[in-house]
Amino acid sequence: MFKDKKIVFSGVQPSGTLTIGNYLGAIRNFTAFPEDHHCYYCVVDEHAITVRQVPAELRRRTYETLALYIACGLDPEKNTLFVQSHVSEHAELAWILNCYTMFGELSRMTQFKDKSAKHADNINAGLFTYPSLMAADILLYQTDLVPVGSDQKQHLELSRDIAMRFNGVYSDTFTVPEPYIPEAGARIMSLADPTKKMSKSDENENAVVRILDDRDAIIRKFKRAVTDSGSEVRRGEGKDGVGNLMSIYSAFTGKTDVEIEREFEGRGYGEFKAAVGEACADALAPVKAEFDRLMGDKKYLEDVMAKGAAEAKQNAARTMSKVRRKIGFIEARRPF
């Protein structure tokens, strides 16, 4: 197995425009990995179909998600960027791992409960078993590190449990992955309800700042952000909204809480929210410009997809050959 460097895997669903939470908590941090790690970044379109999708929109968002990866700084020459459904081993391993995943484990997944409540008319088997597909995504590449938000730790724990269970039955087959949770910007909260994580599926557009929002929209959303009845820019009990804005401002400017408090001492929330909006808009402007350029070159994006899928498949096939042999499947021979 390809192990000259430690391996990182992460995937993003093409089921909505990514937010600054995705950017600050995940994608922006990915750019630091390639020097010391081999990185697989996947557009997980198979995960997206647990909820009904409009086919044309899913195809468009798949291109957009890949373009955003690149626009956010992930160089296809230094990272393996690919689309999940282009590597059939993901689905094959997911089925095998379904047979090593307990019903009780899946029934405890909080995200299944949340999505079932939101999509009560479509509680399908894929929605229930998709943590096994997520485990397959990770284990297929003998992944060492998985960048995850704190809300995804439960799924990674299940992936670890599945790997250890399989290894216990058949001897060492999978690397048991570890979570990577960055300290800064790991959890960006809703601008409308700062007790909840910012979500790309939020129906309240004022709650979410998307990477591709235009400058005016970004600044407008921050000006409408929920704070509290006071006026002092500092963290504290009952100041979740201000604390969230401080986290965002810090992530975009690199300033500490002490520096932020000093900068806005006596200036009030209005000036602070405007400054956060300006900092966010300034940081995202080059990302959006590069995204627009990439979306105008569909052939380039398809070339990246093809190259990434070929690289991913080469290493996925090695794992699958080992798995098939361990569980007793006969390897298919090429025809004469």
Which of the residues are catalytic? 115, 197, 200
Rg (CA), the chain: 21
Structure tokens belonging to residue 126: 């894929």
Handedness of CA 298, 27, 210, 122 (dihedral sign): positive
Number of separate helices (H) and strands (E) present in the chain:
14, 5
Residues 6+ apart with CB under 8 A from 96: 136, 323, 327
CA dist 51 and 269 (Å) reads 39
Residues in CB range of 7: below 8 A, 6 or more apart: 37, 38, 39, 40, 141, 142, 143, 144, 145, 175
Cα separation, 312 vs 80, whole angstroms: 7
